[in-house]
């Protein structure tokens, strides 16, 4: 029996490919599995609906905001599963022929209640590899953070490379952040070095729960992603994780524990911003 008083969170890990229809079938299976196990919030990974053979594939799959098969799928899946859903990312058309990497949030009735567009774009040559990414060639950067009310507290959304920029999360914290969703597609190389470190750090420094849903596996386009999707509590404890391949990571969100940690260890009340403080040689 599922305890309806417990707030269960789910991070959904995928190894998405170049066929949108196949990816949606797999995402639907994982959402259904999470719902069967009592999830009230599920988070899909970045690029869940499309890991194209080339970066420009996302332009062809781009949807107008408010209409399109990927958005229809997310709304229907949330309503059918009766859970809140953070829809990883999907390409929404923007200016100059580019797209936004958008994460849409749906409530348990299938209503879109939030949208976050990835702010920090991955323009990086990955050290020690031949991998080169230039996300800004096809993606237009977002400009606004997102924190919104849910039945479980204030939910913030960030995407993959955003996790390396702590000032974004401090802005979210000022807006009441309790629970953080981070859809991601970390590379195998950067993930092995930094994924767990960054996810746990964002939880610890903001004393919040984090649901980090990552791509995890080998992709048809030749890329490898790190996986290890995880749910972390405000003290930095990994409550659950999944190493590689598709899977559902589940753990409980305890708002009482969140408040106890914040009261017992009041670091958030001790923050100081020092204006005009410059070091001298």
Cα 5 to its chain centre, rounded Å, is 25
To the query of whether residue 252 is one of the catalytic residues in this protein, the response is no
Q: Of 239, 230, 270, which Cα lies nearest the Cα of 257?
A: 239
Euclidean distance between CA atoms 230 and 182, whole angstroms: 10
Pairing relationship of beta strands 238-242 and 112-117 according to DSSP bridges: unpaired
Helix, strand or coil for residue 237? Answer: coil
Long-range own/partner contacts, residues 261-270 (CB < 8 A, 24 or more apart): 261/207, 261/233, 261/234, 261/235, 262/207, 262/234, 265/207, 267/205, 267/207, 268/173, 268/206, 268/207
What is the rounded CA–CA span in Å between residue 74 and residue 84? Answer: 10
Catalytic residue among 63, 135, 160, 224: 160
Known active-site residue 33: no
Q: Can you tell me whether residue 32 is helix, strand or coil?
A: helix
Q: Whose CA is closest to 210, among 220, 223, 197? A: 197
What number of CA atoms fall less than 13 Å from residue 236's CA on the CB side? Answer: 9
131 catalytically annotated: no
List 33, 46, 140, 224, catalytic entry: 46
Distances in Å between the alpha carbon of 169 and those of 96, 126, 155, 159? 29, 24, 12, 11
CB–CB of 103/119 below 8 Å?
Answer: no
Catalytic one of 118, 135, 140, 224:
118
Q: Which residues belong to the active site?
A: 46, 118, 160
């Amino acid at each position: 029996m599922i305890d309806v008083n417990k707030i269960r969170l789910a991070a959904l890990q995928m190894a998405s490919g170049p066929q949108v229809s196949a990816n949606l079938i797999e995402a639907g299976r994982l959402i259904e599995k999470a719902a069967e196990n009592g999830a009230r919030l599920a988070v899909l990974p970045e690029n869940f609906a499309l890991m194209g053979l080339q970066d420009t594939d996302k332009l062809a799959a781009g949807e107008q905001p408010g209409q399109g098969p990927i958005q229809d799928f997310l709304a229907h899946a949330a309503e059918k599963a009766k859970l809140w859903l953070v829809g990883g990312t999907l390409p929404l058309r923007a200016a100059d022929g580019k797209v936004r990497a958008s994460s849409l949030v749906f409530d348990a009735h299938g209503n879109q209640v939030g949208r976050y567009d990835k702010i920090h774009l991955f323009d990086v040559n990955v050290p020690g590899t031949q991998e080169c990414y230039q996300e800004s060639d096809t993606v237009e950067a977002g400009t606004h953070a997102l924190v919104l009310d849910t039945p479980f507290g204030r939910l913030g959304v960030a995407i993959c490379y955003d996790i390396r920029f702590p000032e974004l999360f401090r802005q979210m914290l000022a807006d009441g952040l309790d629970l953080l969703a981070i859809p991601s597609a970390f590379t195998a190389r950067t993930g092995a070095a930094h994924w767990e470190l960054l996810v746990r750090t964002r939880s610890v420094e903001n004393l919040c729960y984090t649901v980090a849903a990552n791509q995890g596996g080998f992709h048809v386009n030749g890329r490898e992603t790190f996986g290890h999707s995880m749910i972390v509590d405000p003290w930095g404890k990994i409550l659950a994780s999944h190493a590689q391949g598709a899977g559902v990571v589940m753990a409980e969100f305890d708002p009482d524990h969140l408040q106890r940690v914040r009261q017992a260890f009041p670091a958030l009340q001790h923050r100081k911003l020092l204006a005009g403080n410059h070091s001298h040689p």
